[in-house]
Amino acid sequence: MNKIANFTNNVRVTSSTSAAFAPTVVALGKFDGLHCGHQQVIQPILNHIKMRSLAKEHIYPTVVTFNPHPQEFFTGKPWPLLTPLQEKVQQLQNCGIEQLVLLPFDKELTALSPQDFVEKILVQQLKAQMISVGEDFRFGKHRSRTTRDLQDIAAKFDIPVVIVPNYSFQDERISSSSIRQALAKGDIHRAKVLLNYPYNLTGKVVKVQQLDRTIGFSPANIQLTANKLLPRHGVYAVRVFIVNETVDASSLSNHLLPIGIGVMNVAHHLIVNDTYLSVEVHLLDWLGDLYDKTLTVQLEEFLRPEQKFSSSETLKAQITADCAKARYLLLRSTHLEKFAG
């Protein structure tokens, strides 16, 4: 069994249930995106911890999920994630979670009977004192067992199971799939509402495109993690932050340092006979060196789809228009937020 056992920020991350801290209260599910629905599933275990605040024994609020994503296991193809591991860990810490258990999703796990899954993993190894799941959670061979089955099996060990109803927005069930669909359309506002936070891209600046300097722009090329889900190709108005990697992990307010606004381009580029996908950010009113810095880019507005240009002059004119539009929209948004506040 592949094992990970470390502290990332203040959250213990492990793929070995025998190495996990116990006893636990467990939120169980896929948790890709940690959207509004997922946050509702996590809340009962945090409430349980508050109710047991005077208990002598420490209980670890724990999220149990799967690695790789089940879709990747069954299809045999890479499955891009809304929240790769580092992002997931940061968000779980923000929620108050102390431990993340990544169950290796393999033939061994899928071969476990529902009874063994509960008894061996949740009871014997994690010593779960309560479990929280969304109502559409399925487990067992061919996902044949429901949350009611989980309740029945756990009841034999006197472990309560909280089943959290599906969370909806405008009569649509909030799910990772609905967020993926919104991002594929460039519907950034809808994705933000469903997630309950702006969709972000984080990566290291690896180079500056020399070609674009000839037309007066030098965007930073950001190298993302390979399994990060990208939104619709095109141009976005964004807010940009430098990730402060030297700050104490507990100082979350200082983790991201805002450095300005800009435009981001997600597009395919042709190099000789090959194409590659790039994520480039051009910061407005910024003259500093960003090379080798880690940036978090917060998507705010979709400006236009990816397109080709007949000349460098038309490209420069369009980029200038994109920058002007981004500046107007982002400054207007900031003004409205301050007014509302």
Q: What is the CATH number of domain 5-169?
A: 3.40.50.620
d(CA 13, CA 4): 7
pLDDT value, residue 308: 85
pLDDT in tens, 133-168: 999 999 887 788 999 999 999 999 999 999 999 888
- Residue labelled with tokens 């020399």: 210
Higher pLDDT, 198 or 8: 198
Using 50, 70 and 90 to split pLDDT, how confident is the model at 253? very low
pLDDT value, residue 9: 57
pLDDT value, residue 250: 46
d(CA 333, CA 309): 30
d(CA 233, CA 305): 6
- At 29, which amino acid appears? G
Cβ burial, residue 92 (10 Å; 0-12/13-18/19+)? buried
SS3 content of the chain, % helix, strand, coil (to 5): 35, 30, 35
Using 50, 70 and 90 to split pLDDT, how confident is the model at 261? very high
pLDDT in tens, 179-216: 999 999 999 999 999 999 999 999 999 975 554 555 55
Asked if residue 296 has pLDDT above 90, the reply is yes
d(CA 293, CA 235): 22
Please, what's the largest Cα pairwise distance for the chain? 72
Please state the domain extents for the chain.
5-169, 199-340
Torsion sign over Cα 106, 110, 114, 120: negative
Torsion sign over Cα 295, 301, 305, 308: negative
From 16-25, 51-60, 178-187, 291-300, the region with the lowest mean pLDDT: 51-60
Homologous superfamily of 199-340 = Riboflavin kinase-like (2.40.30.30)
Asked if residue 5 has pLDDT above 60, the reply is no
Pair of tokens at residue 226: 């390979």
Pair of tokens at residue 243: 């990730």
pLDDT, average across residues 94-122: 94
pLDDT value, residue 272: 44
pLDDT value, residue 136: 92
On average, the pLDDT of the chain sits at 87
Using 50, 70 and 90 to split pLDDT, how confident is the model at 335? low
Instruction: Kindly list the distances between the CA atom of residue 117 and the CA atoms of 113, 120, 184, 195, 243, in Å, as whole numbers in the listed order.
Output: 6, 6, 35, 30, 39
Ordered DSSP codes for 15-39 = S-GGGS-SSEEEEES--SS--HHHH
- Residue labelled with tokens 């910024």: 286
Let me know: does 227 contact 70? Beta carbons within 8 Å: no
Considering the entire predicted model, what is its pTM? 0.87
pLDDT value, residue 52: 77
pLDDT in tens, 304-329: 998 888 888 888 899 999 999 999 99
pLDDT in tens, 206-242: 975 554 555 556 788 999 988 999 999 999 999 999 9
Q: How many residues does the chain have?
A: 341
Using 50, 70 and 90 to split pLDDT, how confident is the model at 330? very high
Sequence-separated (6 or more) residues with CB below 8 Å from residue 232: 183, 184, 185, 186, 266, 302, 305
